[in-house]
Structure 1
Amino acid sequence: MAWLHTWAGLWFSWLLYAVFLTGTLAVFSEAISHWMNPEHAIEEARTAQREAPTVDRSRRLDMAVQYMSRNHGGANMWEIWPVNRHHDNGLVAYWFDQNHQYADAELDPDTGEPLPEEHHGEGRQTAGGAHFVNFHYTLHSPGIGLWIVALAGMAMLVALVSGIITHKRIFKDFFTFRSGKGQRSWLDAHNAAAVLTLPFQFMIAYTGIVISSLTLMPAPIAGVYGTGPDAERQYLAEYTGDTPPARTGQPLAVPALEPIVARAEKLIGQEARAIVITHPEDGSMRIGVYGWNEDAETRSRISSTTGMAEYSAATGELLRSRPAGGVAGGAPSLLQQAMSDLHMVKFGGLAMKWLYFVCGLAGAAMMGTGAVLFMVKRRTRMGDEFGAATARMYRLIEGLNVAALAGLGIACIAYFWANRLLPVALEQRAAWEIRAFFGAWALTLLHAWLCSPRRAWIIQLSLLAALCLPLPALSPLAVGDHLAAQIARDDWESAGVELATLAFGMLAAWGAWRVARRKPAAARPARGATPAAPASIQEISHDHA
């Protein structure tokens, strides 16, 4: 079990560290997206100061139906958001295109005509916090990337279980940390980060695998329903009890939506968020009304589903409904929904997000300290684990440690710098921000293998601090905004991002200082080994962090 814990942990520690760090940042993906589109953030603050316009929802619904009937009459589904809180209270329509993909159009609330793409003004194109969300579970490769991350998640569960089995004093390590003791300190840090957040680490790894079960375990579904998108849709429809009727072929005009929406709101006890019309303009047409979750509701329920009521367009009969927090399909669906919301922290409000953020950083620290500990234990006792290639393998691992831990931090902050420095009008601007992330990360890996390990740690931690600490000063120069103004207008999303970068910068500067002042330890031969280790191994041991 000790062997399993060591090697399963080591070979996946670099990837798991990246998954945990970017997943932790993804907890505040909306705040990061807000900061990375400063023009929109400033305009949003100005809009909040103005008196909210009066919304004639009935007229908005009628205009949206007319637009959809003229332009997308053959679509199997229409979805209307009459007051979209995420689009400046605008009017938005969605539909399924010929490829069964979501398409959308933002409509002018006064005329019902589609608005041009540039109507939001000079806002920059950016991937925002979605970059961290997508990377942490697909590595920006939805096919093979999802499988790689899932395999790493399984390896994490193996490492956690084997670590518990081999742990002789798990409860004592709740309260044990000895600083300045070399290998003992790294082991204490690794144990403390793991033990203090052990329930969280199990939960986040397990739920991350479960919510991708359709992809990871396709055989049972394929055996019953076949393969392909239509088979998956049929499975999901039966699983949730949401099987739409077949089209009748008889034309049926869409009825006035406002009376139906008002009736549904009274039933579910929530303001209407979206109106979904299945088989529009057909005799089988159904009209579903979905509610908005208020902040107070998300703090008291694990399931993030909203209230819903669905009616027959032909008769007005209530066909099905669910309360807020409920799901269609019974206990299995509720369990799947709860697993998903547990992983994505869609409950508990801001306090729960901060708890996940801190526990996520502890998980990243667990991976990072484990990877460093592997080499710390071997720097002073050079053995023969890889035969003649031992020195080269240790050098490879040292370089991966530096690039995976310090280098990933540099890549993340380079992504933020790219957001501020790239021209606003640059084509494929969001893609260039992501290229800056991967490009910076690749350079740190090259640097870590060109420099001695100790020097690479010092340089990369210093560079991380040098990029983090001045980032708040970049905003006034690049976008005319600054930290004091953000706090003054209660824009704590933007201010939080900049304050967090200052905190990480100071932590990186402290780490660089600690590595620089620490004297390298002399290598001593392993038990049973010859007294003189190869010169290449001695050089590694003398240049440690």
Structure 2
Amino acid sequence: MATRTEGGFRQAQAWLHTWCGLWFSWLLFAVFLTGTLAVFDEPITHWMTPEHHAEEAAAQSASANAPTADRAQRLAWGMAYMAEHHPTARMWELWPSDAKGGGELKVYWFDADNQYASAELDPADGRPVAQKPGQAARATLGGHHFVDFHYELHAGTVGLWIVGIAAMAMLVALVSGVITHKRIFKDFFTFRPKKGQRSWLDAHNAVAVLTLPFQFMIAYTGLVISGTTFMPAGKLLHYGAGNAAQARFASELGDGGKPERTGRAMPMPALALEAFAARGQQLMGQPVRAVVIDHPGDAGARMGVYGWNGEDEALRRLSATTGMAMFSAATREVQRVRLPGEADGGSVLLAQSAMGGLHMVSFGGWGMKWLYFLCGLAGTAMMGSGAVLFMVKRRHRHLGEFGGETARVYRLVEALNVAAIAGLALACVGYLWANRLLPVGLAHRADRELQVFFALWAVALLHAFVRQPARAWREQLAALAALCLLLPALNLLTTGDHLLAQWLRGDWESAGVEMGAVAFGLAAIGGWRHLRKAAT
């Protein structure tokens, strides 16, 4: 009796694993692939903005040789610039230097349209740095496209909810998969090549078990960091609904609520900023990253001093929050101090911040990023192999789950498999091609790159329905291999840059993007050759 009960339970879990996994596998594959690429969003953005490379190299050379002012003078210049050009802005944000006391001098403010604006000042004399003629950079979302798509599908709150539901389905599929496969850990050490369905199941089990803790962690933390969106009852009960309530919640969550203007003028000598900066640095124990002034020129002004996270801190702390010290500008009284690694809002938000650090790999340096990248690829392979396994199992044995419509549903699944796996990969590398082929001065250029991404994906879906599944797989993998392997040549033709030059100047970010594309291209060739042999 117990055996029958156990068998029935495991059979129910197998059904749940199969169908919950299938209907969400295409979306989860897209979320995992773009999330894996998002681990290296900064290098991808660097590669996609080649006009900045020469400027960055020149700036590094100039900063190493040119005389530079100290922090007190830089802050004074920043204050003087803001007082002259943006006296009515409700917030001034001054970034005087990098963690070592050198680097750029930048200022930020909110303009009349409530948009974040910035200007760069010369760190040697405080004058605005003029835009060099002919140096306009191409507008692009860069690697942040993969970040946005990964968690909200470029669809705002609706997309966030869709991804959240998919993450819940992933947790269900993981738990039911562990229950279903009693010998899952034994099967991890077994791989039988060229055995059709058995080989796909072995591959699916291997990548799943290898990174099972990572998959649980990434799905769970993805839900936690958006917890107030998925479970808004507490927020709505306390703050109410509407944009004003949301703004109040965000303000209190971020900084405890900004002070109100008093209407009484209170000029502040520019050089007094250094006193606040020095005291803030002493209180929080970090070099000063930024000095933020709320309601400048008003008696209710507040000074915020924020710190830089050092490399050693990023290696050992899950929470990426920096130190912060708040002062009253009028009385110089310390209002609040946050030490590095702490979070505003107490232990609950500190836990959420740590969860965010786990999910977005804000700790551990490049070594941890590579570990996440490899685990992400394994998770992507788990989703893809599970979707393919569904059809391999049914390709020669009709199970009739949908009655007379079963054949049509199987054809739909086959096409969606091709478009979701090979087609999405095509769209991702096509996005990089669009970055090089679209004119630099094109209006709404970043939007056009995004449109190329979705257009290529739509074409891949149409192609998957028009062609027979086996041909569609081979043709899309061949196109993927060509686009990946030819990306370095495209970069050479359009910008004059190439791998050897990147290697010689130490531009590992650009070189890594191109070598990664070549690696994906070689993998696509391997898949194409395997399918070609299977067809003959």
Q: TM-score, normalised by structure 2?
A: 0.92
2: distance between equivalents of 1:99 and 1:337?
30
Letter of the structure 2 residue corresponding to residue 38 of structure 1: P
Shift of the 2–130 alpha-carbon distance from structure 1 to 2, 3 Å rule, reads: same
2: distance between equivalents of 1:101 and 1:421?
30
Q: CA deviation at 1:131?
A: 0.8
Letter of the structure 2 residue corresponding to residue 292 of structure 1: W
Q: How many residues align?
A: 518
Q: CA deviation at 1:323?
A: 1.8
2: distance between equivalents of 1:229 and 1:76?
19
What corresponds to 2:519 in structure 1?
503
Pick from 448, 459, 469 the counterpart of residue 432 of structure 1: 448
Following superposition of structure 1 onto structure 2, how do residues 121-520 of structure 1 map, counting pairs within 5 Å?
Answer: 121-239=135-253, 242-255=256-269, 256-519=272-535
Does the 8 A contact of 1:239 with 1:333 survive in 2? no
Partner SS state of residue 143, structure 1:
helix
Partner SS state of residue 93, structure 1:
strand
Does the 8 A contact of 1:45 with 1:489 survive in 2? no
Does the 8 A contact of 1:410 with 1:441 survive in 2? yes
Letter of the structure 2 residue corresponding to residue 382 of structure 1: H
What corresponds to 1:15 in structure 2?
27
Shift of the 117–152 alpha-carbon distance from structure 1 to 2, 3 Å rule, reads: farther
2: distance between equivalents of 1:42 and 1:97?
30
Partner SS state of residue 399, structure 1:
helix
2: distance between equivalents of 1:199 and 1:296?
26
Letter of the structure 2 residue corresponding to residue 321 of structure 1: V
Letter of the structure 1 residue corresponding to residue 533 of structure 2: R
Shift of the 118–131 alpha-carbon distance from structure 1 to 2, 3 Å rule, reads: farther
1: distance between equivalents of 2:61 and 2:342?
36
What corresponds to 1:535 in structure 2?
none
Show structure 1 runs of 5+ residues with no match: 521-545
Shift of the 234–427 alpha-carbon distance from structure 1 to 2, 3 Å rule, reads: closer
Which is worse superposed, 473-482 or 72-81?
Answer: 72-81
Which is worse superposed, 281-290 or 507-516?
Answer: 281-290
Does the 8 A contact of 1:414 with 1:440 survive in 2? yes
Does the 8 A contact of 2:188 with 2:206 survive in 1? yes
Does the 8 A contact of 2:96 with 2:289 survive in 1? yes
Q: CA deviation at 1:174?
A: 3.1
Which is worse superposed, 25-34 or 461-470?
Answer: 461-470
Following superposition of structure 1 onto structure 2, how do residues 105-116 of structure 1 map, counting pairs within 5 Å?
Answer: 105-109=119-123
Does the 8 A contact of 1:84 with 1:92 survive in 2? no
Q: TM-score, normalised by structure 1?
A: 0.90
Which is worse superposed, 25-34 or 432-441?
Answer: 432-441
1: distance between equivalents of 2:133 and 2:86?
23
Q: CA deviation at 1:344?
A: 0.8
Letter of the structure 2 residue corresponding to residue 44 of structure 1: E
- In the alignment, is residue 25 of structure 1 matched against residue 37 of structure 2? yes
1: distance between equivalents of 2:467 and 2:413?
13
Show structure 2 runs of 5+ residues with no match: 1-12
2: distance between equivalents of 1:221 and 1:41?
45
Shift of the 439–60 alpha-carbon distance from structure 1 to 2, 3 Å rule, reads: same
2: distance between equivalents of 1:105 and 1:226?
37
